[in-house]
A and B are shown apart, each in its own frame.
Chain A
Amino acid sequence: AQSVTQPDIHITVSEGASLELRCNYSYGATPYLFWYVQSPGQGLQLLLKYFSGDTLVQGIKGFEAEFKRSQSSFNLRKPSVHWSDAAEYFCAVVHPLGNTPLVFGKGTRLSVIA
């Protein structure tokens, strides 16, 4: 069965520190991959997506993600976190040839401390 795992429920980082949020998937083929951010009281906003090609993907708000086929991972990174990055982050995957929509992970809550 298709699945996506975000191993970390909650992460706390200091402002200015680097960030990496983990996402692992279990699929028969290389899926399409997405990262979304949900700020408090808001809907989910697309940060970036990977369909094919360059495995390092740049997104909005200074985020990037790297697809690693050998590790079945699509980790989200940011070199320097700002207090406004505090939010919930969701990884999502979908089979490129399937007939089912995106499957979302359970999310990782990011707290940023001064």
Chain B
Amino acid sequence: DAGVIQSPRHEVTEMGQEVTLRCKPISGHDYLFWYRQTMMRGLELLIYFNNNVPIDDSGMPEDRFSAKMPNASFSTLKIQPSEPRDSAVYFCASSWRTELQGPQYFGPGTRLTVL
């Protein structure tokens, strides 16, 4: 298995622009998680899905952030408009269908820089 795939690996954009991060979970995994990692705040859970349905989005920082999962093999995290404080590494992770309590498997991350 290829593992969790994220794209792009690096994104540099200017303040005010729309940013879309993409994730393909491991095949057969029904849970998908989006995290943000910064030096100041560490690893933060933004939102997670089960069977393509958002379960908890309480970690999404503002309305500028939105996430979708149109099918079992694809999810997006969108920031519109982007701000410099959104600069971070964004991770996607997935886990097995019955294992919200099970291990999560992480992608390599997308390093976002907003100028």
Hey, which bits of chain A sit against chain B, CB under 8 A?
Answer: 32, 34, 36, 42-46, 49, 90, 94-96, 98-102, 104, 106-107
* A101-B45, A101-B48 known; A46 vs B105 contact (CB < 8 Å): yes
* A43-B4, A43-B91, A101-B45 known; A95 vs B101 contact (CB < 8 Å): yes
Is B115 positioned at the interface, with any CB of A under 8 Å from its CB?
no
Number of A-B contacts (CB under 8 A): 47
Report whether B42 and A106 are in contact in the complex, using a CB–CB cutoff of 8 Å.
yes
Hey, which bits of chain B sit against chain A, CB under 8 A?
Answer: 4, 31, 33, 42-43, 45, 48, 56, 91, 93, 100-109
Report whether B101 and A44 are in contact in the complex, using a CB–CB cutoff of 8 Å.
no
Chain A: CB-nearest residue to B9: A41
Report whether A44 and B42 are in contact in the complex, using a CB–CB cutoff of 8 Å.
no
In the bound complex, residues from chain B placing their C-beta under 8 Å from that of A42 are 108-109
In the bound complex, residues from chain B placing their C-beta under 8 Å from that of A95 are 101
Report whether B100 and A44 are in contact in the complex, using a CB–CB cutoff of 8 Å.
no
Q: When chains A and B are docked, how far (Å) is the Cα of A43 from the Cα of B3?
A: 11
Report whether A90 and B104 are in contact in the complex, using a CB–CB cutoff of 8 Å.
no
Report whether A102 and B104 are in contact in the complex, using a CB–CB cutoff of 8 Å.
yes
**18 further A-B pairs in the complex, CB-CB below 8 A; given A101-B100, A107-B42:** A32-B102, A42-B108, A43-B93, A43-B107, A43-B109, A44-B43, A44-B104, A44-B106, A46-B103, A46-B104, A49-B103, A90-B43, A99-B100, A101-B31, A101-B33, A104-B42, A104-B43, A106-B43
Which residue from B43, B93, B101, B109 sits with its C-beta under 8 Å from A98? B101
Q: When chains A and B are docked, how far (Å) is the Cα of A106 from the Cα of B41?
A: 8
